[in-house]
Amino acid sequence: MPEQFKQLTWQQVRTQVHSVNPSLASVIDALSPSDKFTFIKADYPFGSEILSHVQFNLPGNNGNLTPFNGLKPGLQKALGYNYQTNPVSLVLKNSVELFIKLDNRIIPFALIQPGRLFGLWRILDSQYSHCPLIFVWGITAGARSMFMLPKISDGICHNRLKNHFNLHAGKPGHMQDHWQIFREITHSMQPDSPWNSELLFFSKEWFEHLDDPAWANFHRYLLRSAWENNSFWRNQFIWKLIFTSIETRRQLKPNPYIADLTQQAFMVSVGALPGFAPATDESAGPVQTIQAAYREFYQLKHYPPIVMQPKFFSQSETTQQPVYLSLQYPSAIELAPRLSTRTHAIADLEAIQMLTKEYIDGLLAEDFRIGDTPLAKVPFKVQFDHFHRAPINYPDIYESKQISQADKNFHEVNSPHHGEFPANSSFFNGCIRISNKNNHHTNDA
């Protein structure tokens, strides 16, 4: 087999699994599995499309990918049990992004960290699954939804970068186009930029004994993992009923586009979907390599090359990093068409701000009996602030330059590079900050 993936036994991967997920490792230890229960351990360079257009890929030689149909029959049999999607997978190193590609939008769904299992829903579901929708899913090594805050579409500067790294990608037209350039830069520098995501795939044999009493703890562990990871989505219909009830009781008739964006902010505030935040480490990709390329070859002069990545918000962490959403990077799963293209971003932002207040007032005033749920805690634990590059005549919307004054993470990623905070970034031209009220400084920003 190529070096990029290897077929291994439990004894060969046991130590590494223990280091990232000791609970799972203990359950498998109790089974004392024989060597016929194998794994495929795979190393994917940054940006590798692990799942793309219902095709599962393994890493091949020279940074290329080997499609599932191109694997040897034995490997196809071992890994083909989750038809047209990835096998059950455990992240061992760095991260992978699970995203939805819908029309012209890339929607981050999860940035999966070491120790997390994914790919369980299909193998644990009945053959009559109601929502396969496998055609919309994609998985990449590292963050797919990664972009730079400063503008990087200058033709002369991009050509300088393109010539040095022998890139094929043209200058980006949108923030979601940045990833393609980042990926090409990283691949052109192999092996000098050895960033990779490391995954462990379970072979088919691991799921042929789930009804055996001796495997009950393993089966229970898988069910619990899948159950915990889809808690919000199992209860989403109740979520929709609550917001519909607030609108009815308060006689609201929000623009559907505004309602979808506002409710997405609430989804992010309860940890159901990620927002965006500055990358403060290398877990989502080779950030320092990308930044160095834009400083030295693109010659980004006036602004630091701040890279943004998907980030989940947690109500329970007192040191929680704020996360951001942007009208210029619409990442809501459900998003009605804009009723008018004449509306300015700041008018949309004001409408979102007003609807957010109505929803919060409704949660406080109405007795929905939702107990101690994350949604019930939003009015007490979560702060929503709204920013624009030039909020003239909108006193409740803040100038985007104030963002860096309140969020120390922008200072940390800026300090080695210097330069002015890119407050004029298109990302901030209609931006929502979601932060923990315990960490909120003042109403100035």
Tens-digit pLDDT profile for residues 124-166: 876 655 555 567 899 999 999 999 999 999 999 999 999 999 9
Span 190-204, average pLDDT? 89
Q: Say how far apart CA 406 and CA 440 lie, in whole Å.
A: 8
**Do 426 and 375 sit in the same domain of this protein?**
yes
**Do residues 217 and 239 both lie within one domain?**
no
In this model, does residue 420 exceed pLDDT 70?
yes
- Whether residues 240 and 367 fall in one domain: yes
Kindly state whether residues 318 and 364 are assigned to the same domain. Answer: yes
Q: Are residues 71 and 203 in the same domain?
A: yes
Quick check: is 76 in a domain?
Answer: yes
Classify residue 184: in a domain, yes or no: no
pLDDT attached to residue 211: 93
Shared domain check, 67 and 139: yes
Is the residue at 41 inside a domain? yes
**Are residue 263 and residue 379 in the same domain, yes or no?**
yes
Q: Please check the confidence at residue 198 and state whether its pLDDT lies above 60.
A: yes
Task: Give the pLDDT score at 371.
Answer: 87
- In a domain? residue 139: yes
CB atoms within 10 A of CB 175: 23
**Would 26 be classed as within a structural domain?**
yes
Q: Which of 201-205, 312-316, 392-396 has the highest mean pLDDT?
A: 201-205
Task: Report pLDDT digits (tens) over 102-125.
Answer: 888 999 999 999 999 999 988 887
72 lies in a domain? Answer: yes
Residues 137 and 239 reside in one and the same domain: no
Mean model confidence pLDDT for the chain: 91
pLDDT tens digits along 77-96 = 999 998 778 999 999 999 99
Output the domain CATH number for residue 198: 2.60.120.10
- 186's CB contacts (< 8 A; 6+ apart) are 45, 46, 47, 193, 195, 285, 286, 289, 290
Q: Is residue 172 part of a domain?
A: no
Q: Is the pLDDT of residue 10 over 90?
A: yes
How far CA 67 is from CA of 48, 85, 100, 330, in Å, comes to: 12, 12, 20, 31
**What pLDDT score does 443 carry?**
45
Distance CA 78, CA 81 (A): 7
Is a pLDDT exceeding 50 seen at residue 442? no
* Domain carrying residue 406: 233-274+312-439
Which pLDDT band holds residue 56 (cuts at 50, 70, 90)?
A: very high
How many domains does the chain contain in total? 2
Strand duo 431-436 + 382-388: pairing: antiparallel
Is the pLDDT at 416 greater than 60? The verdict is no
Please tell me whether residues 240 and 212 are part of one structural domain.
Answer: no
Are residues 256 and 200 part of one domain?
no
Contact 134, 125 (CB under 8 A): no
Looking at the fold, whether 214 and 323 belong to one and the same domain comes out as no
Please tell me whether residues 217 and 343 are part of one structural domain: no
Per-residue model confidence (pLDDT) at position 2: 45
